[in-house]
Amino acid sequence: MDIIETIKDQIANNTILLYMKGSPNAPQCGFSAKAAQAVMACGEKFAYVDILQNPEIRANLPKYANWPTFPQLWVGGELVGGSDIMTEMAADGSLQATIKEAVEKAAANKADA
């Protein structure tokens, strides 16, 4: 599987996916720390990919996503954005609403399958 297929697979198979530097419990940059905190505050389980451990993803995801920086939050297969966008959305409540809606939709789709 080539790296773009791997990225597509990760996005398709994880309702909430955070591409970040480090892990949620041990972020390796301030932006990734803020992003992980914002997502964790929503109270839903989420997947993450440490791009420092995955140099091919680090090199190719910005081209695939048309988004140059990390972290990147993907919810329900759609790019939400980076750290600043996540922080703003968390402050106004829209991040929680977006994540809750995606989790409910994924659960409904799983129930229908």
User: 29: annotated binding-site residue?
Assistant: yes
User: 9: annotated binding-site residue?
Assistant: no
User: 70: annotated binding-site residue?
Assistant: yes
Question: CA-CA distance, 23 to 83, in Å (whole number)?
Answer: 15
CB 80 within 8 A of CB 89: yes
Sign of CA dihedral 107, 97, 30, 82: positive
User: 23: annotated binding-site residue?
Assistant: no
Residue 27 token pair: 């972020």
Closest CA to 39 of 9, 15, 73, 7: 73
**Residues annotated as binding site for glutathione?**
21, 58, 70, 83-84
**Residues annotated as binding site for [2Fe-2S] cluster?**
29
**Residues annotated as binding site?**
21, 29, 58, 70, 83-84
